[in-house]
Copies of this chain bind each other. A is one copy, B any other.
Amino acid sequence: MDATTASESGIGTGPALPGGAAHVGPRVRALRTERGMSLSELARRASVGKATLSGLEAGTRNPTLDTLHAVAAALGVALTALVAGGGSPRIRGAAVDMELLRVFDDGPATYELYRMRIPAGAEQTSPAHHPGVTEHATVFAGELRAGRLDAPGVVGPGGYLEWAADAPHGYAAVGSGDVHASLLIRYPT
């Protein structure tokens, strides 16, 4: 499917969360605990009240921009890292559900970075791209079979696959669980 060609229906499944606000809380909590930081300590470093931070992580509050800025700075991350995802374009194919995270436009090529999800057992093929286009997948969870149809590769969590996309290629979740992966597509200019 490869983003650009994806369009067919796979429809369904869209609970469509009410707002991205609910996502910010867990993300802050994840970033905080990864750093081994307590709620009290992060509140202190960010100069916000513990009640504010507690409510923010729990999703029971509606934080102001100042609060988000202070927390992001204390975590050492960009504010975009806390709020990313809410409005990202989604691309749904027959089997593959991709979310465009970022477009890199520097250098002699353009890169599109996607997060990819494939339900267990699902499979999908994609037609050839222009010459020189390559795809790079890093698997987070599940067992991914992907690559050119004549020479696919299979990898599990932590694994990596890449292939030239100027020939028909496909993606499949061959294990018992859904596949979660990141997909980087490189378009030479």
Which chain A residues have a beta carbon within 8 Å of chain B's beta carbons? Answer: 3-4, 6-8, 10-14, 16-17, 19-21, 24, 26-27, 30-31, 34-36, 45-47, 62-66, 68-70, 72-81, 83-91, 99-113, 115, 134, 136, 138, 140-141, 157-158, 160, 162, 180, 182, 184, 186-187
Give the interface SS of chain A, mostly helix, strand, loop or mixed: mixed
Question: In the complex the two chains form, is A104's CB within 8 Å of B45's CB?
Answer: no
User: Given A65-B68, A66-B19, do A108 and B141 touch, yes or no (CB 8 Å)?
Assistant: yes
Do residues A90 and B78 form an inter-chain contact, with CB atoms below 8 A? Answer: yes
- In the complex the two chains form, is B162's CB within 8 Å of A66's CB? no
A–B complex contacts, Cβ < 8 Å, 8 sampled: A13-B47, A30-B110, A31-B103, A73-B89, A81-B101, A106-B141, A134-B158, A136-B158
